[in-house]
Structure 1
């Protein structure tokens, strides 16, 4: 398979959890952020975009501009640190505690076997889980530039769906064993459900 990088977005405000440091919340005894990073342990480089916190060795941390500027600004900050020749990148939310290496491999295979710009999971209702996907770096960079041009040079506060509008996306349904890798934790109840799945 094609070599890949990983950009993990960890700068959300976690309003539905009272503003806690959501990526640092443990699930199955490990912070959610660390679980996501473990799922992409073979990526090079691995980048976290968001407030600095403890990360495993070899993981680089950067911030979006402006800080708190949202997932598109964070995506742009992560892409800016990738070498020009990096072919693909896993673009992931930091609150995916059930993501596994096998699930990432499925996404990479889906993209490698297609002419699409990216591959992402879809949930049981058919909704794209766009921050649980693998994307062609050139296509993402072009999308950031296009969106910035549409917004007078800034992607601050832009929604991810606007960034990815117009890109060819290969939708992947989870068919493996175990819980859905796209499950994200937005509430305390979500964290409890994830804990149950990891037991």
Structure 2
């Protein structure tokens, strides 16, 4: 997921209320959702460490993302199983290290048949909050296959989004053809090509929830915001 390297201002996070009088607090269109968190990246710019396990504010980034979707069912992590909180299903992409599209397919494979909406998230989003996820769910309308945040430059943060399960499964099948190994190394742009995506700028309180940590400098900046 592309990172925005320039953030114009830093604000102290404040608690944001979810909309009242709607199922789940997300809007009448969504009452339940699942979550797939992708944690299998190579983290080459960090020397190959287990990046999602790196702490921000005293807590692994992976755990912070899982906490932001605590009300999702099921919660699925695609990546290493060590230290993963209880109640979270764990799987690996095929082949291991095959990239975000292969990891997305592995996560979707564990969803129950009645799942209709899924949050698809990178595991290195330490500033993600339940309010931000709620904002995405609230913007998922009947005319969209998915919704994701966009950064200040208007770039889609596709691994900080909510999607129709049927649309994602159809996209995976289109790319896979006769073999799931065709998904290894495929780009998210190719997966989402042709889908109708609702783009949402973050206008809530606090730092941008789409901010991902690809470098040590990113982690340092996230630490400052998390204090």
TM-score w.r.t. the length of structure 1 is 0.97
2:72 corresponds to 1:43: yes
Match of 1:122 in 2: 150
Q: Secondary structure at the match of 1:121?
A: strand
Deviation for aligned residue 1:74: 0.4
State which of 171, 181, 189 in structure 1 corresponds to 2:217: 189
| Aligned positions of 1:137-156 closer than 5 A | 137-149=165-177, 154-156=182-184
Q: Quick check: 1:2–1:87 contact (8 Å CA) kept in 2?
A: no
Pick the aligned partner of 1:27 from 37, 53, 56. 56
Deviation, 1:152, is 8.5
Match of 1:64 among 73, 81, 93: 93
Among residues 47, 54, 76, which one is paired with 1:18 in the alignment?
47
- What residue number does 1:9 align with? 38
In structure 2, relative to structure 1, the CA distance for the partners of 1:127 and 1:150 (3 Å cut) is farther
Q: Distance in 1 between matches of 2:179 and 2:155?
A: 26
Q: Is the 8 A contact 2:94 2:181 kept in 1?
A: no
Report how many residues are paired: 198
What residue is the counterpart of 1:173 in the other structure?
201
DSSP-derived class of the 2:183 partner: coil
Unmatched 5+ residue regions in structure 2? 1-29
Question: CA RMSD, aligned part only?
Answer: 1.3
**Consecutive unaligned residues in structure 1, runs of 5 or more:** none
Q: Which residue of 1 aligns with 2:25?
A: none
- TM-score with structure 2 length normalisation? 0.85
Secondary structure in 2 aligned to 1:170? strand
Report the Cα distance in structure 2 between the residues aligned to 1:53 and 1:20, rounded to whole angstroms: 14
Quote the offset at 1:85 in angstroms: 1.2
Distance 1:146 1:194, change over 3 A: same
Question: Against the structure 1 CA distance between its residues 41 and 152, is the aligned structure 2 distance closer, same or farther, given a 3 Å change threshold?
Answer: closer
SS at match of 1:6: strand
Q: Moved runs in structure 1, 4+ residues, more than 4 A?
A: 150-153
Secondary structure in 2 matching 1:177: coil
- Please say if residues 7 and 90 of structure 1, whose CA atoms lie closer than 8 Å, have aligned partners that are also in contact: yes
Structure showing greater radius of gyration is 2
